């Protein structure tokens, strides 16, 4: 899907946005140095969370304290070190880390690409916030979504009401689809990891491919069909487990 001079598939609307790598412009993120940061999705778009891509250059690093916020970091490529709440971890492609509110964090390394989903944590009465979780995609079972054998869903975080966000990976065989057009209260941030297909967003249909980013506002009608010779997959964020 090469683009003609002066053309783009990028579109930012009130209820959804599609962004393609050709339109990304790096920006600086406080606390991070020797890295390239692209803010995929933010409140500036109308979202209630942020989706951020960070490429660690040679000896790149970032750190701070989450405060009222929480985030999930997913390693898209390469490997890096992390110190989360004082504990050291080595993260490789496919690893993820959930970093809860009021937690110190530090990431460092050379050449890794991180995808971060960050939001303000919404406490739940009677429950303590979750602790740090570190895991890997390969350990998350791939289950048919609503009986669809060609659409496998991997849920990365524990199914526990203390979490107010979920990060999942969907992998579709060519020709597989979301079983119906979903309309729901949850918001999504999404990165296409592989393959290609058609995403229905609100009343529009868009061709999408690996590297593309989509924001879907709450109640934005959505549907996906995988097209092509190879599987299509995406990682996505949703807010969960809280009253409206
Ligand atoms: O979890 C979800 O809502 C998911 N089925 N949505 C999506 O893939 N657009
Ligand atoms: Mn959905």
Looking at residue 4, its pLDDT comes to 87
- Please check whether residue 172 is in contact with residue 197, taking contact to mean a CB–CB distance below 8 angstroms: yes
Looking at residue 57, its pLDDT comes to 97
Which residue of 148, 155, 170 sits with most ligand 1 atoms within 8 Å of its CB, as the best mutation to test the pocket? Answer: 170
d(CA 43, CA 118): 11
Predicted TM-score (pTM) of this structure: 0.98
Rounded to an integer, what is the distance from CA 112 to the centroid of its chain? 16
Average pLDDT, the chain: 97
Looking at residue 115, its pLDDT comes to 99
pLDDT band at 3 (very low <50, low <70, confident <90, very high): confident
Each residue of 27-46: pLDDT tens digit?
999 999 999 999 999 999 99
Distance from residue 78's CA to the centre of ligand 2 (Å): 29
- Please check whether residue 226 is in contact with residue 200, taking contact to mean a CB–CB distance below 8 angstroms: no
What six digits make up the tokens of 1? 């899907």
Each residue of 95-135: pLDDT tens digit?
999 999 999 999 999 999 999 999 999 999 999 999 999 99
- Minimum-distance ligand 1 atom for the alpha carbon of 186: 3
* Whether the CB of 188 sits within 6 Å of ligand 1: yes
Q: Spell 22-36 as b/e; 16+ CB within 10 A means b.
A: eebeeeebeebeebb
Q: Residue 224 CA: which ligand is closest?
A: 1
């Amino acid at each position: 899907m090469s683009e003609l001079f002066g053309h783009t598939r990028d579109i930012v609307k009130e209820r959804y946005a599609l962004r393609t790598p050709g339109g990304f412009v790096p920006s600086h993120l406080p606390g991070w140095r020797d890295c390239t940061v692209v803010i995929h999705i933010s409140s500036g778009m109308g979202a209630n969370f942020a989706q951020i891509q960070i490429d660690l250059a040679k000896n790149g690093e970032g750190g701070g304290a989450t405060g009222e916020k929480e985030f999930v970091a997913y390693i898209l490529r390469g490997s890096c070190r992390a110190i989360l709440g004082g504990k050291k971890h080595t993260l490789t492609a496919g690893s993820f880390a959930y970093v809860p509110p009021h937690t110190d964090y530090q990431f460092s390394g050379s050449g890794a690409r991180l995808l971060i989903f960050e939001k303000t944590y919404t406490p739940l009465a009677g429950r303590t916030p979750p602790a740090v979780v570190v895991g890997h995609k390969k350990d998350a079972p791939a289950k048919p979504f609503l009986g669809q054998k060609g659409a496998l869903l991997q849920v990365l975080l524990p199914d526990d009401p203390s979490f107010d966000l979920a990060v999942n990976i969907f992998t579709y065989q060519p020709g597989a689809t979301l079983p119906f057009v979903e309309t729901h209260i949850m918001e999504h941030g999404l990165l296409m990891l592989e393959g290609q297909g058609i995403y229905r967003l609100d009343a529009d249909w868009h061709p999408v491919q690996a590297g593309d980013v989509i924001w879907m506002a709450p109640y934005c009608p959505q549907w996906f069909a995988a097209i092509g010779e190879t599987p299509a997959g995406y990682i996505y964020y949703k807010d969960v487990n809280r009253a409206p």
